[in-house]
């Protein structure tokens, strides 16, 4: 498995050198047959931020093999919490009874944090998604690290801790047909100004249902107001 880039600049350089992408159809293999993914997230609800993301999405529309992510799914993942399963097989499997334990254990960690603002940064891409970077002055990485360190029951992924790069995914890939054009279009977007700031006042614990060929459906499992937002 390819290790994550250590910085957004590193991710961009790696993307520019790619001759193939990770496609939507590869998701079942990566999930290893599991469909119920757990995560701590922040929904992007700020109108200015959503308008900026919509503008980027419009300029990626029509590129062969690039599938826009529905605006209802725009979010920043803080920490992946594994997959809910009936029987544990993999290290990041979580039994149903463990899901409520994770939700309760995270509450004291998250609600010690004060509300803060972040800013949408430059366009970029990983192997499997086109993204918009999030500039956070280290606050989101701090939350990620506190959840990892404070909750040993959570699986630690390579993209946690020093490998954590906060972002909003705006498109996934169904083929490599438009890769060259995608590189050009993202480079154009990357040369432009960063986006607006928006507030982080609440985190959510969600379960995303992944069904091949359909956008994920999100179930809200718990909501955590940050300290100054109560």
For 3-48, what is each residue's pLDDT tens digit? Answer: 788 999 999 999 999 999 999 866 655 677 788 999 999 999 999 9
Domains and CATH numbers, the chain: 8-229 (3.90.1140.10)
Q: Are 44 and 166 in contact (CB under 8 A)?
A: no
Task: Give yes or no for residue 230 having a pLDDT over 70.
Answer: no
Task: Give yes or no for residue 160 having a pLDDT over 80.
Answer: yes
pLDDT of residue 145: 97
Cα gap 83→72, rounded to integer Å: 22
Q: How far is CA 81 from CA 37, 49, 55, 190, in A?
A: 8, 26, 31, 31
Task: Give yes or no for residue 78 having a pLDDT over 60.
Answer: yes
Tokens representing 196 are: 């607006």
Is the whole model's pTM more than 0.85, yes or no? yes
Per-residue 3-state assignment (H helix, E strand, C coil) for the chain: CCCCCCCHHHHHHHHHCCCCCCCHHHHHHHHCCCCEEEEEEEECCCHHHHHHHHHHHHHHCCCCCEEECCHHHCEEEEEEEEEEECCCCCCCEEEHHHHHHHHHHHHHHHCCCCCEEEEEEEEEECCCEEEEEEECCCHHHHHHHHHHHHCCCCCCCCCCHHHCCCEEEEEEECCCCCHHHHHHHHHHHHCCCCCCEEEECEEEEEEEECCCCCCCEEEEEEEEECHHHC
Cα gap 208→154, rounded to integer Å: 17
Cα gap 185→72, rounded to integer Å: 23
């Amino acid at each position: 498995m390819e290790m994550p880039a250590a910085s957004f600049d590193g991710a961009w350089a790696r993307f520019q050198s790619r001759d193939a992408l990770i496609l939507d159809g590869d998701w079942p293999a990566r999930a290893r047959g599991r469909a119920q993914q757990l995560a701590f997230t922040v929904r992007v609800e700020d109108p200015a931020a959503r308008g900026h993301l919509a503008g980027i999405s419009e300029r990626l529309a029509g590129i062969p093999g690039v599938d826009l992510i529905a605006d209802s799914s725009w979010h920043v993942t803080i920490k992946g919490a594994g997959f809910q399963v009936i029987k544990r097989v993999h290290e990041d499997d979580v039994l149903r009874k463990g899901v409520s334990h994770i939700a309760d254990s995270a509450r004291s960690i998250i609600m010690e944090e004060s509300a803060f603002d972040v800013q949408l940064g430059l366009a970029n891409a990983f192997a499997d998604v086109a993204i918009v970077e999030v500039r956070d002055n280290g606050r989101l990485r701090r939350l990620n690290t506190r959840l990892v360190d404070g909750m040993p029951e959570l699986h630690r992924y390579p993209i946690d801790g020093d490998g954590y790069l906060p972002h909003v995914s705006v498109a996934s890939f169904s083929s490599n047909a438009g890769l060259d054009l995608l590189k050009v279009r993202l480079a154009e977007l990357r040369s432009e100004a960063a986006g607006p700031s928006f507030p982080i006042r609440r985190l959510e614990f969600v379960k995303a249902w992944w069904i091949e060929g359909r956008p994920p459906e999100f179930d809200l499992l718990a909501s955590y107001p940050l300290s100054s937002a109560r």
